[in-house]
Amino acid sequence: MPNGLELTLISSSSAISDTDSCHRQTISELQGIQNTSFEAAAQNVPFRRSTYVESYADMLQDLQAKSNPARAQRSLSFVQTKLTKNGCVSALQRPEDRAPCWQKAGVVNSQNNLCNGRPSNHGLAPKIQNNTTTSPNGQKKGTISLSHLPQRPPVDIEFCDISYSVPDGHIRGFKTILKSVSGKFRNGEITAIMGPSGAGKSTLMNILAGYKTSQLSGSVLINSKERNLRRFRKLSCYIMQDDVLIANLTVREAMMVAANLKLGKNMINYAKCVVVEEILETIGLKESTNTLTCNLSGGQRKRLSIALELVNNPPVMFFDEPTSGLDSSTCFQLISLLKSLARGGRTIVCTIHQPSARLFEKFDHLYLLAQGQCVYEGRVHGLVPYLSSLGYECPSYHNPADYVLEVASGEYGEAVPKLVEAVKSGICKKYTHKDYGVNLSSAKSINNDIIKGNGSGAASTRAVATITLEDEKSANAYEADELTELKPPKLKAQQSQTSDCSGVNIQITNDDSGSFSSSKGGQSQNAVSGGTNTVVGCMTSLLDSHESVVTLPSKTGFPTSGWTQFWILLKRSFRTIMRDRMLTHMRLASHVIVGAIIGMIYYDVGNEASKIMSNAGCIFFVALFTTFTAMMPTILTFPTEMSVFEREHLNYWYSLKSFYFAKTLADIPFQIVFSSVFVLVVYYLTSQPMEIERISMFVFICVLNSLVAQSLGLLIGAGMNVETGVFLGPVSTIPTILFSGFFVNFDTIPGYLQWLTYVSYVRYGFEGAMVSIYGMDRAKLHCNEIYCHHRVPKKFLEWMSMEDARFWVDAVALIGIFFALRIIAYFVLRWKLHMIR
């Protein structure tokens, strides 16, 4: 055993020492494996939870190979974390847990090739041993591969005669956005949908992704068969332009939520952890695993959005303007990443506005739209010759992406009809062949000369490249990455020849530079950058499964049951609320502070008949405060979560029901605690009657009132954006306050308006609170002055027109309104989802 590892084991052991016998036993087990054969140790280790066994399996496997101490250390940390987090004394070991851990985890045949996609008993592809490479300075570098992803079939998307119209505002008028467009996007390729603003790019992508289904004609074929939308949605993901992420989760937590939701219960917990770790390492977020998503940079957020969707290995990925808001270097890294994903067999489709020449030529396939019609479809390298053949000569050193947009925008005359006609007459066809442009590229040039096909092609022998994360290295990265594009991937070959994994592979290095390398081919090759030797795994391979897209069951719903989704989402919501300073810390502080201020203002008025109106004012203020503090935060925060919900729901993570129940339930305990704290502080300082029954009733009715207000906030947040909600929330509450019975006696309100008092939830809250303080035959109040008009509480309630008020009627009315608002909010959300389509 390497010395470093021995030290690790000992220090880790001391970190979890002296707690209970379980920990001590675990320590001895961990230490025991140093003195015995690893397999034998694992057979005999009486772990109590399968997660330990599985973690241990991984560690032992790594130890056994003696090739990756760093990974072994991580595994050990994982065991530790689990021990600490879960406690390890509760569950006794079941006999089946005694099975050798790596057999359970299906990792014994670790040398199986990644690319053969053989299923294992836990839903993962077999694990390949992480290879190590040696840099010129002798530093070891581990190759990271996406080898544990679930296996999925490759997918080609073909669309024929797609037309899409929307009502244009006039009676029976329609505006046609897409006019009979056709095309094909293949697996293994990265396709750019380009065109001038308003050309219909996003519309086309939304249709292909299945987000728009109404008012459209034409057909979409998946692997040459009519698309089944449900099946397709499970195979694809859509990454939107705005990277809406839950703010108060760390990168790893966000990934684990995605894994738990998307990988289902067929995959064991440990396997999900491995998938997450692999993706984070591959995508270059390893260093940020414990960073809150709100603290990530733009590029990192984009990568996390991709990582979240990669968890279930979708064969089709749609990106809406993935480079928007990123600097050129980050754009380059991102498109390199997407390209490597494509090379793994996925179908990657991006809309892109105006890429630089350098970025543009990274795409394999271009689909160009203008005025809702296709004006070019084919290889990126074919664009300049195509335009040239139609008399549009792209000037030397002019970015072809800029030029074609200028042409499509009509800057060189009315070009669109001519281009559309050319596409229809099949001129594009010769540029659509996937081998078009192979060996035409120059290794260095970034101007359109490359695309004209003036390159030497000599670089084709240099097949391994480095893509760096560092700006200063990006030039090298570009140069090298260019070389990887020379040959399109052969996915079929990947499936049949287990050792051939052609495509770009990213290799994360362990050095401090944070660079990652890309390589092509499935075997050891000489690296361009730094002359390192790399042994390449099928890094981003799709791991083609034997399942067929067309035979996938269409009826099965989400990957996890509704209950599991609810539970995962509830835990996530709880965690985010706990960490949200605005929502939790500030809310708690404001309730305590305002409670204390109110208590001081109305100090000791509770039993004083001469101050009975002040006390009524105090009770009214309590109802008011609980109303607003419950409603406003929900109006402010819910729309943000709505964007996350839309993304996750439309990407088939979970159902609306699960989300809604989790969301509605998660905040209730917090609201109850905050309101109760506030009410109790006020109650005590203002010397209200210290009777358990009255206290409970008062707190209960105020909390109910706050929950109703929160439900109203939820409804407003579900139906409107923040700006409208912030206006509408208070405005809609004002009438309920007016009709609460505090400002105007119910008897004074004109008959035709009195019905409004029955829908005023503040009325029920205030009335219930008054009854709990002055009702139930409370004894005469103390009078400090010569004469007190309202010494008898019952008379005071009569004077307030509340003599017939019943506490439980008020409570039931509030409970009824609470459920009604929550149900309406659910249907508003459903309607909103429907409207998106």
202 lines the binding site for ligand ATP (CB under 6 A): yes
Q: How far is the CB of 369 from ligand ATP (least distance, A)?
A: 7
Q: Please choose, out of 201-209, 286-294, 591-599, 605-613, the segment that lies near ligand ATP by the rule CB under 6 A.
A: 201-209
Looking at residues 410 to 439 of the shown chain, list those that interact with ligand ATP (rule: CB under 6 A).
Answer: none
In the complex, least distance from residue 240 CB atom to ligand ATP, rounded to whole angstroms: 12
Stretch that binds ligand ATP, among 196-204, 583-591, 616-624, 758-766 (CB under 6 A): 196-204
Specify the 3-state DSSP secondary structure of 172.
Answer: coil
**Choice between 78 and 403, CB closer to ligand ATP:** 403
Whole-number minimum distance, CB 229 to ligand ATP, in Å? 20
- Tell me whether residue 198 or residue 553 sits nearer to ligand ATP (CB atom): 198
197 sits near ligand ATP (criterion: CB under 6 A): yes
In whole angstroms, what separates CA 14 from the centre of its chain? 37
What letter would DSSP give residue 584? I
Report in angstroms how near the CB of residue 235 gets to ligand ATP at its nearest: 23
The nearer residue to ligand ATP, 199 or 508, going by C-beta atoms, is 199
Return all residues near 56 (Cβ < 8 A) that are at least 6 apart: 42, 45, 47, 75, 79, 101
Calculate helix-pair angle for 692-719, 761-774, nearest 10 degrees: 170
- Range in contact with ligand ATP (rule: CB under 6 A) among 190-198, 252-260, 286-294, 429-437: 190-198
257 binds ligand ATP (CB under 6 A): no
Q: Which is nearer to ligand ATP, 201 or 362 (CB)?
A: 201
Q: Is 177 in the site for ligand ATP (CB under 6 A)?
A: yes
Site for ligand ATP in 209-248 (CB under 6 A): none
Dist CA 635 CA 547 (whole Å): 45
Q: Which bin fits 99, alpha (ψ -120 to 50), beta or left (φ > 0)?
A: beta
> What's the min distance (Å) between Cβ of 721 and ligand ATP?
17
Q: Is 136 exposed, middle or buried (0-12, 13-18, 19+ CB in 10 A)?
A: exposed
CA distance 231 to 219: 16
Least distance from ligand ATP to the Cβ atom of residue 640, Å: 22
Nearer Cβ to ligand ATP (85/170)? 170
Binding mask 559-598 for ligand ATP (x = CB under 6 A): ----------------------------------------
Q: How far apart are CA 68 and CA 145, in angstroms?
A: 14
Q: Between 197 and 290, whose beta carbon lies closer to ligand ATP?
A: 197
Count of positions (residues) in the chain: 837
Shortest distance, CB of residue 202 to ligand ATP, whole angstroms?
Answer: 3
Q: From the CB of 212, what's the least distance to ligand ATP, in Å?
A: 9
As a whole number of angstroms, the distance between CA 303 and CA 648 comes to 16
**CA 79/CA 84 separation, integer angstroms:** 9
- Alpha-carbon separation of residue 470 from 128, 358, 505 (angstroms): 29, 17, 18
Q: Hey, what amino acid is at 403?
A: Y
Measured CA to CA, the distance from residue 471 to residue 515 in angstroms comes to 10
Please report how close the Cβ of residue 326 comes to ligand ATP at its closest, in angstroms.
Answer: 16
| Residue from 106, 153, 183, 195 binding ligand ATP (CB under 6 A) | 195
Per-residue binder mask for ligand ATP (CB under 6 A), 330-369, x = binder? -----------------------x----------------
To ligand ATP, the closest distance from the beta carbon of 642 in angstroms equals 19
Residue 720 DSSP one-character state: S
Say which residues have a Cβ less than 8 Å from residue 131's Cβ, sequence separation at least 6. Answer: 142, 143, 535, 537
Closer of 194 and 464 to ligand ATP (Cβ): 194
CB count in 10 Å sphere of residue 507: 28
Six token digits for residue 484: 């990887």
Dihedral sign for Cα atoms in the order 582, 588, 589, 595:
positive
Q: What share of the chain is helix, strand, coil (3-state, %, to 5)?
A: 50, 10, 35
Cβ 526 to ligand ATP shortest distance, Å: 42
Out of 68, 120, 203, 300, the only residue in the binding site for ligand ATP (CB under 6 A) is 203
Whether residue 374 contacts residue 427, with contact meaning beta carbons closer than 8 Å, is answered with: no
Of these, 201, 231, 362, 611, which contacts ligand ATP (CB under 6 A)? 201
Please identify, using beta-carbon distances, which residue of 177 and 679 lies nearer to ligand ATP.
Answer: 177
With CB under 6 A as the contact rule, which of the stretches 191-199, 503-511, 617-625, 804-812 interacts with ligand ATP? 191-199
- What residues form DSSP beta bridges with 465? 518
- Identify the sign of the CA torsion 147, 150, 153, 156: negative
Tell me if 636 contacts ligand ATP by CB under 6 A: no
Site for ligand ATP contains 314 (CB under 6 A): no
Q: Residue 714: what residue type?
A: L
Selection from 259, 382, 394 nearest residue 313 by Cα: 259
If binding is defined by CB under 6 A, does position 606 make contact with ligand ATP?
no
Nearer to ligand ATP among residue 322 and residue 689 (C-beta)? 322
Q: Which stretch, 52-60, 195-203, 383-391, 719-727, contacts ligand ATP (CB under 6 A)?
A: 195-203
Helix ranges, 263-327 (H): 269-283, 298-310
| Residue range at the interface with ligand ATP (CB under 6 A); choices 105-113, 193-201, 523-531, 777-785 | 193-201
Q: Which is nearer to ligand ATP, 90 or 197 (CB)?
A: 197
Contacts of ligand ATP in 131-170 (CB under 6 A)? 166
Q: Which of 198, 391, 553, 669 binds ligand ATP (CB under 6 A)?
A: 198
Residue closer to ligand ATP, measured from CB, 208 or 770: 208
Tokens of 564: 């599991």
Q: Which residue has the tokens 């299945």?
A: 210
Smallest gap, in angstroms, from Cβ of residue 161 to ligand ATP?
Answer: 18
Q: Residue 199 or residue 716: which is nearer to ligand ATP going by CB? A: 199
Residues with Cβ within 8 Å of residue 209, at least 6 apart in sequence:
236, 238, 318
Nearest distance from residue 420's CB to ligand ATP, in Å? 16
Burial tier of 460 (Cβ tally within 10 Å: 0-12, 13-18, 19+): middle
323 touching ligand ATP, by CB under 6 A: no
| Site for ligand ATP contains 200 (CB under 6 A) | yes
> Of the listed pieces 41-49, 198-206, 280-288, 736-744, which binds ligand ATP according to CB under 6 A?
198-206
Of 331 and 542, which has the nearer Cβ to ligand ATP? 331
How many residues touch ligand ATP under the rule CB under 6 A: the total is 12
DSSP label of 37:
-
Site residues for ligand ATP, window 791-830 (CB under 6 A)?
none
Give the CA radius of gyration of the chain. Answer: 33
Q: Closest by alpha carbon to 281, among 38, 68, 478?
A: 68
Q: What is the DSSP letter of 395?
A: P
Q: Which is nearer to ligand ATP, 67 or 324 (CB)?
A: 324
Helices (H), 558-667: 562-579, 587-601, 612-650, 656-666
Binding positions for ligand ATP, rule: CB under 6 A: 166, 175, 177, 195, 197-203, 353
